[in-house]
Amino acid sequence: MGLDITVLAADWGRLERTPAAEREGLLYEAGCPESDFGPATEPEAGWVFPASPKVPWSGRYEFRGTLGSYKPHFWAADGWDRAREFAEPALREPLDGFLVGLIWWGADEDSADDGDNGADEADGADEPEAGLFPSDPEPWRPHRTLVRPPPAVTALAAHWARADALLEGLRETYDLHASRPEGWIADFDAFDALVRQWAEVVDETARRGWGLLGLPV
C-alpha cells in the first residue's frame, strides 16, 4: 500500500455549490495548505479547523503515529479481518458497519446477506462522487480514497455508538488471533487507538452535519 491519506471533513453544501472545476484544487489546498510549506515537522494530532484559511468550511484530521501513511489503516483492517470471526456477535455487526465504511474491505460472506452490516450504506455513499468530481484519469492512484456524504457519516456514527463500549472486550481475542508485533498495528492497544481516532473523525464530522473525504496527499 504505497499510499498516504489525508482525511478532511467538509460542508457538503458548500462543496456542491463550488464550481466543479475548482473543487479538486480547494480540497488539496485544505489537505496541504500553501502556508504549510516549510521545514518538515510532525503535525499536531487531531482536528485542525479550518483546514486552510482559503477553505473555511473544512477541517483536517491528523492521525497520531501514522506519519500520514495509509499503512497503519491497512494493517488495522487486516487485524479486524483476522479477529472478527472470533469476536462476539454484538460487537461484530456494528464494528463491521463502522470499519467497512472507512478502511475495511468487508467479509466474503457478507456479499450474500441482506447488507445489514453497513456495507450498503458505504457503497451507496460513493454515488455522489460522479456529480461532485471529474472521473479519475489514473484509476491505479485515485484522487480520493474515501468519499462519505453526510447521511453516510451519520450512519457510521450510529455504528460506532453501538461498538464503542464493547470494543475493550475484543482485547484477548485480538491479541490471540491478530497480533503482529512486526507490523504497524502490533496488538489490540494499537488497533484500539487507531479505531478510536476514526471515531473522533466520524463523531465530529457527524456533529457538524458534514461529509468526509480521504485524499492521497
- 1-16, pLDDT tens digit by residue? 458 899 999 999 999 9
Q: Output the pLDDT for position 145.
A: 80
Q: Please give the Cα distance from 194 to 73 (Å, whole number).
A: 8
**Backbone CA torsion sign across 129, 134, 135, 140:** negative
Residue 151 domain-assigned (yes or no) = yes
Q: Please give the Cα distance from 86 to 164 (Å, whole number).
A: 18
C-alpha cell at position 175: 491479541
Round the average pLDDT of the chain to a whole number and report it.
85
Between the CA of residue 110 and those of 93, 94, 102, 194, what are the distances in Å? 11, 13, 16, 24
Residue 132 domain-assigned (yes or no) = yes
Peptide bond into 50 cis (omega under 30): yes
Residue by residue, DSSP assigns 7-64 as EEEE-HHHHHHS-HHHHHHHHHHHHS-GGG-SS--PPPSEEESSSBTTBTTEEEEE-T
Residue 1 domain-assigned (yes or no) = no
pLDDT classification of 113: cutoffs 50, 70, 90: very low
pLDDT classification of 212: cutoffs 50, 70, 90: very high
Residue 202 domain-assigned (yes or no) = yes
Q: Please give the Cα distance from 79 to 38 (Å, whole number).
A: 36
User: Do residues 18 and 217 lie in contact, with contact meaning Cβ atoms separated by under 8 Å?
Assistant: no
Q: How crowded is residue 39: how many other Cβ atoms within 10 Å of its Cβ?
A: 4
**pLDDT tops 90 at residue 193:** yes
Instruction: Of 126, 92, 124, give the one whose Cα is nearest residue 109.
Output: 92
Residue 35 domain-assigned (yes or no) = yes
Grouping H, G, I as helix, E, B as strand and the rest as coil, residue 115 is coil
Number of domains in the chain: 1
C-alpha cell at position 1: 500500500
pLDDT classification of 78: cutoffs 50, 70, 90: very high
**pLDDT tops 80 at residue 26:** yes
Question: Angle at which helices 71-83 and 188-208 pack, to 10 degrees?
Answer: 110
Domain of 122, in residue numbers? 6-215
pTM listed for this prediction: 0.85
Residue 71 domain-assigned (yes or no) = yes
